[in-house]
Chain A
């Protein structure tokens, strides 16, 4: 039941719309494309298109101990955040989906609070709290803070998976004698695993790209990549950042494609 081209308006009459939309799409994508191209420039001047090509900015990224350490910190934190947020988020989504609990509205509001509350306030608040309990500049502190940021995305993603799943199947399994856990792991989880994996990927990228909270609570040996980039950008525009940015863009593309593929596999 396709509604496509249902209106008696030709594509030709809509050329202006396509042109306008195309320009906005160009505005959205051009910055990333320009950075990727410039990261292969041989010049330390920012010229576009580059006159000479080289990999020197990638060498400068991978050759620098500081950048490498920061990258390792970010990867570690993002992996741990993805694991913790996926576990907690999936459990929470399952409970919300059951709809038997009272106060579901309040629970939802609390779990998705970090999407609404200004990040700067979360950053300052977390720093303030961590200063009292000694979690600033620790991996644990970063993982906890990032998990709170990633949790709503996992909950929303898994919840949308559960909404298109018939919970009666799990009830059948349980009435046939399966325990709660084995019913979930053997019947429900295989059918919502794509949502869970998507949620985990979103959690990973949320943590990896997080800037503001990390600015406050990371430092020293636990300086994250984004914090180091932010500080570098405050000083001068170093083309090494173009190489790092390209890596981050590629990472986004890979993770998003994976999430899309998993999403389609359902």
Chain B
């Protein structure tokens, strides 16, 4: 009999079957136990997130006279106010994402080049705002940017401007406030990915005669792109559904997607229309994240696990 074939025991069953039943019973018990540990959390998420969203989706398929219709969705293409909301939302999202890349890339690059201890100290400047209430930070920007706020007072005191600049309660205010809130979401994943770039690659480039600028442009920058992409995607997606800052700093003029949802449901109690807005927002969010994952094979949620 060759090695590897199964020998038979005295009752004619393969001898690995002697304890196979017990083993598989054990494995099943183990799996049941582990699943029991998971189930309370899963149940809660299912009940509070999946069920209501499914329910809202169902509601969005009916018009005001409870007839099955696409009226709630058709509205988005027909009513100018909805189209304006979408345009505003994407404008804000692009502006904020752009500003985050502009400010966040140099900061992440600097952090990645600093010695470990110095980088640790500088990281506090990113992590502390990350964990400070969005409300507190929005309030701070209101104080700084409003008509009689710090910036305007200072600029008028030193005579740069005669009239206060309109910085709060408009598009600019929303973009500034949101950039402050989103910046850590870009810097943290970008910094983490920059830290994994092998210094030897850069050193080799310089050894071969590349200038620091060329080394950066041809080696470092391309290697940092996946990290940048994950930061960009997460910031853009968070911007699309963002509520607090535009609601407080938009002065009622900058109506973004999430504010529209709040108004439709709370003010007008139009659940179907509000739900449809939510369904489309979720679909766009998931599509962007899915596209990102398909292109880069990475999850954009990593930002929360690196602090």
Q: Which A residues are within 8 Å of any B CB, using their own CB?
A: 2-9, 13-14, 17-18, 20-21, 24-25, 27-29, 31-32, 34-35, 38, 45-48, 88-89, 91-92, 94-96, 98, 100-101, 107, 110-122, 124-129, 144-145, 147-148, 151-153, 155-157, 159-160, 180, 205, 208-209, 211-212, 215-216, 226, 229-230, 233-234, 237, 241-242, 245, 248-249, 252-253, 255-256, 259
Contact = CB atoms under 8 A, between A and B. Distances in A.
Interface stretch (B1-9, B14-22, B78-86, B140-148): B140-148
B223 interface: no
A256 B131 contact: yes
19 contacts: A7-B215, A8-B206, A17-B106, A17-B109, A28-B183, A31-B144, A45-B148, A94-B34, A95-B37, A112-B301, A113-B49, A117-B53, A121-B53, A122-B48, A125-B53, A127-B265, A148-B44, A148-B49, A255-B131
Main secondary structure of the interface of A (DSSP, over half): helix
- Nearest 8 CB-CB pairings of A with B: A118-B241, A125-B52, A21-B110, A31-B140, A120-B258, A209-B133, A91-B37, A25-B125
B305 to A, nearest CB: 4
Contacts of A242: 139, 143
Contact of B44 (A88, A211, A248): A88
Nearest to A156: B305
Interface of B: 27, 30-31, 33-35, 37-38, 40-42, 44-53, 55-56, 103-104, 106-107, 109-111, 113, 115-116, 122, 125-129, 131-144, 146, 148-150, 153, 180, 183-184, 199, 202-203, 206, 212, 215, 237, 240-241, 243-244, 247-248, 258, 261-262, 265-266, 271, 274-275, 278, 281-282, 285-286, 289, 301, 304-305, 307
Given A46-B143, A91-B38, A100-B34, A249 B136 contact: yes
Contacts of A91: 37-38, 40-41
B132 A32 contact: yes
Given A120-B258, A121-B241, A148 B45 contact: yes
Contacts of B153: 47-48
A118 B135 contact: no
Contacts of A128: 52, 55-56, 271
Contacts of B237: 116
A20 B110 contact: yes
B133 to A, nearest CB: 4
A13 B49 contact: no
Main secondary structure of the interface of B (DSSP, over half): helix
Nearest to B141: A31
With most chain A CB atoms within 10 A of its CB, the pick from B50, B125, B248 is B125
Contacts of A29: 125, 128-129
A88 B42 CA distance: 9
B33 A211 contact: no
A209 B45 CA distance: 20
A95 B42 CA distance: 12
B41 A111 contact: yes
Contacts of A89: 41
Contact of B52 (A2, A112, A129): A129
Given A46-B150, A100-B34, A120-B261, A114 B49 contact: yes
A255 B130 CA distance: 13
Contact of A110 (B45, B107, B116, B212): B45
Contact of A118 (B38, B113, B266, B278): B278
A120 B262 contact: yes
A101 B225 CA distance: 34
A43 to B, nearest CB: 12
A32 B31 CA distance: 48
A170 to B, nearest CB: 13
